[in-house]
Structure 1
Amino acid sequence: MDPKLASIIEQVKVDIITPTQQRDNAKQQEEVSRSFISDTITVPTKEMFAYAVQASVGDDVYNEPSTIALEAHIAELTGKEAALFVSSGTMGNQLAIRTHLQQPPNSIICDVRAHINKYEAGGAAIHSGALQNALTPKNGHHLTLKDIEPHVVFGTDVHSAPTRIICLENTLNGTIMPQSDIIEIADFALKNGILMHLDGARLWHAAVETRTPIDELCAPFDSVSLCFSKGLGAPVGTCLVGPKAFIQKARWFRKIFGGGMRQTGVLAGSVAYALSHNFPLLPRVHALAKRLQAGLEELQVGILSPAETCMVFYDPSTIGVEYWEIIDRAAALPKPISLTGSRLVVHIQTSHEAVEDFLSLIRTLKEEKVQAGIVPSPVDSDGMRNVYVRATRPSTPTR
């Protein structure tokens, strides 16, 4: 071999597998089981990999059989004509907005806490030239038609951007949007020529908790984005669903956005495994989240947003404890727990032990505050328990 070529070949070579990779992976899975940061951190299992590597090896820009089969299944599952596999929930949402909207000016209505408003880097403005009209629900839980209707922009006034899409999110901060309110908003939208998009990143949780079929939850919407890498534990992927012509155009925009992928069969295989084997685990996830809430309430910790599905938001100031104290002490445990701020996220790989260890830590911190005289004893001089007020709903961290 030519020495110069041999030198270049040597420079290009790389080995990313460490000598202790299997142990490292096992350690990572243990860490994930004790992390309440997000459900995006779940790791693929050996069983998932074993199934995924049997998938087809085509090119998704041209023809990828396993991915096509997954898209067909998701379209049928959601009751829509077609589906498109994309890399992330953000891409799914942004493709939907860009595909729905034609020539500006346009505006969209969404919840002020929505992912498309807070955590997609201004994508609607950048990709679609759209104004986001972000509303705060008056009931503190979810948007209703009474919230939305006064803010819809009609007509041809050159000073305004007409409302073209109403974007809802279900679940949002782990809370379920009532289907009756969704249908009322959708009926209004249909009568007024406004499109409906759903960020259904964790719609799987709503289906399990309400015992409502996926297609029924999706029926009021023109398009829906469903994630597989959050509650379901797949390593990568989202499907955008909608009418056939809409998905065909979205596929074009996916290519423009740089999202056209190649050998996605192994990813489709991972998703298929997650749908078949991980989706049934969600009832346990919800039960663990409710156990977290109940344990915190027993300790008189403030609950900012209850465990409707996989998340609990809490306020430890009611027992004289600050978030940073909990985060630091949890990280220093013999078996560390990972936390961030007010949000606790339970996922399919969360261990029961981690939940109980977290509650035990909160109990210890509370006892320390009582002993230091920072907060009153849980039982006052009359033998009555102190009353702790519920704080206001927090701003959620990113997914």
Structure 2
Amino acid sequence: MSPDTRATIAEQVKCDILPKNPVLENANKAKEIARTFISDTVTVPTPEMYAYATLATTGDDVYHDPSTVALENHMAQLTGKEAALFMPSGTASNQIALRTHLKQPPYTVLCDHRAHIDNYEAGGTAFHSGASVKAVVPSNEHHLTLADVEANVILGSDIHFAPTEVIALENTLNGTIFPQEEIIAISEFAHSHGIKMHLDGARIWHVAVATQTSIKELCEPFDSVSLCFSKGLGAPVGSCLVGPKDFIKKARWFRKLFGGGMRQTGILAAAAAYALTHNFPQLERVHALAQKLEAGLERIGVEITSRAETCMVFYDPSPIGVNYDEIAERASALPEPLFLGGSRLVVHIQTSEAAVDDFLALVEELAQEKKKAGFVKLDVPRKANGFKDIYVRRVTKSSDN
């Protein structure tokens, strides 16, 4: 190969993905994230996190990386489990956990009908594990109870049914806290029948802060737990699966089979460690901001459909005559836009208090406009059969017609 040919190929291979002004670009993105209520996955690493991560070891995690092993050892100790495994995502962590628990079909996984493993993991439970899912609607509309589990679990050897082999719970679920005493009751029942317990604890950090309960105590009723670093804690990538040594050994095998074996993970593990140390303490402020959102919306007259138990608020603006599209349109037109995602408002460690204030001011402004235009609420008593208040818009002639 001639030098000219080599130079041509090298020129073709070159790649520069950086923006013209990376510092300005990232600063602008940070401002946008501070005003984004769509999810807590949007958080970004800070310069301090980057600086810490660059000091991590550069081993190969399929073989051995000291920084990653140190994180795994810490997570095992923190959760009170024998071993831990760093994962590229929460979905990988959940699905590999289920695949490791489930040995020989037929079998069923029992979970809440809103569970992430059933709704937001691309059908992975069926695809990877060949498992049937029993998605249960909580009778109390908040969390599964032992009675719900007992009514829906599949026991025995009737060949018409796939027996329940895993009960998968989620805490938090849509920002709500699963009461620990109910978890313990379900766990005792499950284990008495030889059923495994898995926890999707992506946001278990929020539960620990809100209930002042240790991570170890929250994880104790479960055979395996998945914990996320990239949502509430603000790391760029990663989750951790914890459980017994033999379970984690097999899970590592499945991680490789699923294509999740990674190489120089030290920098990612270090970012997660930084998040545990520096970002976990910020969650109390996150919860306070979510509660401020809830209180402000209620004051305006908006219906809260799921309360701010941790970092999320779900709301319905129809009582003030407004819909989500109107709010989103006006929010995007602000001098400093707000970024919204329908009925769910998610507060995270990089949400600014100004963003919360601006959102409430915007909803208040829309409410006043609707009221001035003639929107009224007819207060109809809530009936036992579930009838709700009726909201109507009174059509009036405007002053300029």
- TM tier, smaller: over 0.9
Check 1:388–1:266 CA distance in 2 against 1; reply closer, same or farther (3 A cut): farther
**Aligned counterparts, 1:113-152, within 5 A:** 113-152=114-153
Per the TM alignment, residue 155 of structure 1 is displaced from its structure 2 partner at its CA by 1.7
Per the TM alignment, residue 342 of structure 1 is displaced from its structure 2 partner at its CA by 0.2
Counterpart CA distance in 1 for 2:298 and 2:359 is: 13
Counterpart CA distance in 2 for 1:169 and 1:350 is: 24
**Aligned counterparts, 1:170-185, within 5 A:** 170-185=171-186
Per the TM alignment, residue 5 of structure 1 is displaced from its structure 2 partner at its CA by 1.7
Q: Could you tell me which amino acid in structure 2 is paired with residue 102 of structure 1?
A: K
Q: Which residue pairs with 2:20 in the alignment?
A: 19
**Unpaired segments ≥5 residues, structure 2:** 389-401
- 1:155-187 deviation digits (Å, cap 9, x = unpaired): 222211010000000000000000000000000
- 1:311/1:343 contact within 8 Å kept: yes
**Aligned counterparts, 1:194-205, within 5 A:** 194-205=195-206
Per the TM alignment, residue 362 of structure 1 is displaced from its structure 2 partner at its CA by 0.2
Counterpart CA distance in 2 for 1:247 and 1:3 is: 52
Q: Secondary structure at the match of 2:375?
A: coil
Q: Secondary structure at the match of 1:273?
A: helix
Q: Does 1:229 align with 2:236?
A: no
- 1:332-352 deviation digits (Å, cap 9, x = unpaired): 000000001100000000000
Q: Secondary structure at the match of 1:158?
A: coil
Give aligned-pair identity as a percent.
64
Q: Secondary structure at the match of 1:141?
A: coil
Per the TM alignment, residue 224 of structure 1 is displaced from its structure 2 partner at its CA by 0.1
- 1:315/1:391 contact within 8 Å kept: no
Deviates more, 1:268-277 or 1:151-160: 151-160
> What's the TM-score once normalised by structure 2's chain length?
0.94
Task: Count residues in correspondence.
Answer: 384
Q: Could you tell me which amino acid in structure 1 is paired with residue 348 of structure 2?
A: H
Q: Which residue pairs with 2:396 in the alignment?
A: none
Check 1:11–1:73 CA distance in 2 against 1; reply closer, same or farther (3 A cut): same
Q: Which residue pairs with 1:373 in the alignment?
A: 374
Q: Could you tell me which amino acid in structure 2 is paired with residue 56 of structure 1?
A: T
Q: Which residue pairs with 2:272 in the alignment?
A: 271
Q: Could you tell me which amino acid in structure 2 is paired with residue 88 of structure 1?
A: S
Per the TM alignment, residue 19 of structure 1 is displaced from its structure 2 partner at its CA by 1.6
Counterpart CA distance in 2 for 1:299 and 1:357 is: 14
- 1:282/1:348 contact within 8 Å kept: yes
Per the TM alignment, residue 391 of structure 1 is displaced from its structure 2 partner at its CA by 10
Q: Secondary structure at the match of 2:376?
A: coil
Per the TM alignment, residue 2 of structure 1 is displaced from its structure 2 partner at its CA by 2.0
- 1:302/1:388 contact within 8 Å kept: no
Q: Could you tell me which amino acid in structure 1 is paired with residue 357 of structure 2?
A: E
**Aligned counterparts, 1:231-380, within 5 A:** 231-375=232-376
Q: Could you tell me which amino acid in structure 2 is paired with residue 179 of structure 1?
A: Q
Q: Could you tell me which amino acid in structure 1 is paired with residue 188 of structure 2?
A: D
Counterpart CA distance in 2 for 1:78 and 1:179 is: 15
Q: Does 1:67 align with 2:68?
A: yes
Q: Does 1:217 align with 2:218?
A: yes
Following TM superposition, the consecutive aligned residue runs of length 4 or more in structure 1 with deviations greater than 4 angstroms are 386-392
Q: Secondary structure at the match of 1:40?
A: helix
Counterpart CA distance in 2 for 1:332 and 1:175 is: 31
Counterpart CA distance in 1 for 2:23 and 2:300 is: 40
Q: Which residue pairs with 1:32 in the alignment?
A: 33
Q: Secondary structure at the match of 2:330?
A: helix
Counterpart CA distance in 2 for 1:277 and 1:183 is: 31
Per the TM alignment, residue 149 of structure 1 is displaced from its structure 2 partner at its CA by 0.7
Counterpart CA distance in 2 for 1:294 and 1:388 is: 23
Q: Which residue pairs with 2:154 in the alignment?
A: 153
